[in-house]
Amino acid sequence: MFKPITIKDIAHALELSPSTVSRALSDSYEINEETKKRVIEYAEKHNYRRNPIASSLRHGRSYSIGVVVCEVANSFFSQAIDGIESVAYGKGYHVIISQSHDAYEREVVNIQHLANRAVDGLLISMSAETKDFSHILKLHEQGLPIVFFDRVIDDFETHTVTSDNRKGAKQATLSLIDRGFKKIAHLANAPHLSITAERLEGYEEALRQCDIPLDESLIRYCHHGGRVQEEVDEAARYFINLREKPDAIFVASDRLSMGCLSAYNKLMPRESHPAVAGFSNSDVLDLLQPGFTCIRQPAFKMGQVAMEMLIQLIESRYPVYDFENIVLETELIQR
């Protein structure tokens, strides 16, 4: 059906050898300017395009990289993807996005799918449900370059990029305390995610600094990262039914901020909602929800840095043993 023109066709038409055509198209210094011009003109005229699959096979490289995120319909991740793409395209790489939907099984399947030469490297942000990392470890041991961003794995010898979650969480919590709230709850992400622990630390640190005792009953985890709205609704109902209701909530993620606000909207009039501050990269959420203070992560930058690190790993001639763990600053947006 779809039969594009090949180097052979050009060679035949111009009475040259395929190798000459190949060299002419890659602008080799060995080739006569005159010949180059003929080849390039013919190629353009006939809409020739190098077959990337053959090229990949030859080079043992696909010039594409895989990205694994929980979902793309998420401001943070879509901005990170934009950052990744901005670097990737500039360096001649394709970007293949795949979504785990925060489910362990999807993550395993997708990573398997991407691995083994279909991609030259992987950019991963862990799924909320994943506790077992052997599927990733195995690939890494085989030599597949991997860089983690945002949601990383401990004790994994590779580059990582994250934001300063502890500090951001602390700022957000402090901003609630500053506004006079005393009973501040924490709606947390899945317990085994790296970001969950760090953000929890920041929350605790803020309370400690202001001599507010930590009340464990004010912390609720969402094991599916809010993918299941029911778990967020349940958390909101739990907070509402406490004898001493929280007057404010620090929410650990974009997805959960959305879920939390909508859960409360279903449960009570807006005037009686607790104050909410949380991590969010959404442009509109904060506009639609007056008084919502948010922590912005440098998502675009994080994508860029992650991609740069991955390219460094891919293009390095020798195995890399010296890994960087870059931490970017967050920004507090207060209204």
- For helices 229-241 and 254-267, angle between their N-to-C axes, nearest 10 degrees: 60
d(CA 274, CA 62): 51
Judge whether 309 and 161 are in contact, CB under 8 Å: yes
* Residue 92 in contact with DNA, rule: CB under 7 A: no
Nearer CB in complex with DNA: 15/155: 15
Residues contacting 186, CB < 8 A, separation 6+? 200, 203, 218, 219, 220, 249, 250, 251, 252
Nearer CB in complex with a copy of itself: 118/214: 118
Looking at residues 43 to 72 of the shown chain, list those that interact with DNA (rule: CB under 7 A).
50-51, 54-55, 57-60
* Residue 23 in contact with DNA, rule: CB under 7 A: yes
Nearer CB in complex with a copy of itself: 15/157: 157
Residue 33 interacting entry, from DNA, a copy of itself, none, C-beta within 5 to 8 Å by type: DNA
Nearer CB in complex with a copy of itself: 180/290: 290
Count of alpha carbons within 13 angstroms of residue 152, beta-carbon side: 24
**In the complex, least distance from residue 25 CB atom to DNA, rounded to whole angstroms:** 6
Q: Contact region for DNA (CB under 7 A) — 17-25, 68-76, 147-155, 289-297?
A: 17-25
Nearer CB in complex with a copy of itself: 21/200: 21
d(CA 172, CA 185): 12
* Residue 40 in contact with DNA, rule: CB under 7 A: no
**In the complex, least distance from residue 65 CB atom to DNA, rounded to whole angstroms:** 19
Residue 15 interacting entry, from a copy of itself, DNA, none, C-beta within 5 to 8 Å by type: DNA
| Interaction site with a copy of itself (CB under 8 A) | 1-4, 47, 49-54, 56-57, 62, 71-75, 78-79, 81-82, 85, 94, 96-97, 99, 112-113, 115-118, 120, 138, 142-145, 229, 258-259, 261-262, 265-266, 270, 283-285, 287-290, 319
Q: Where does 10-92 show beta strands of DSSP type E?
A: 64-69
Give the residue from 96, 108, 162, 100 showing the smallest Cα distance to 138: 108
The amino acid at 165: N
Residue 319 interacting entry, from DNA, a copy of itself, none, C-beta within 5 to 8 Å by type: a copy of itself
Could you give the angle at the alpha carbon of 270 between the alpha carbons of 283 and 202, nearest 5°?
Answer: 55
Judge whether 148 and 160 are in contact, CB under 8 Å: yes
Judge whether 280 and 286 are in contact, CB under 8 Å: yes
Nearer CB in complex with a copy of itself: 4/191: 4
* Residue 183 in contact with DNA, rule: CB under 7 A: no
Residue 271 interacting entry, from a copy of itself, DNA, none, C-beta within 5 to 8 Å by type: none
* DSSP character at residue 218: G
Judge whether 302 and 83 are in contact, CB under 8 Å: yes
Nearer CB in complex with DNA: 51/209: 51
Burial grade of 73 (CB within 10 A; 0-12, 13-18, 19 or more): exposed
* Residue 265 in contact with DNA, rule: CB under 7 A: no
Interface positions with DNA (CB under 7 A):
6-8, 15-20, 22-23, 25-26, 30-35, 50-51, 54-55, 57-60
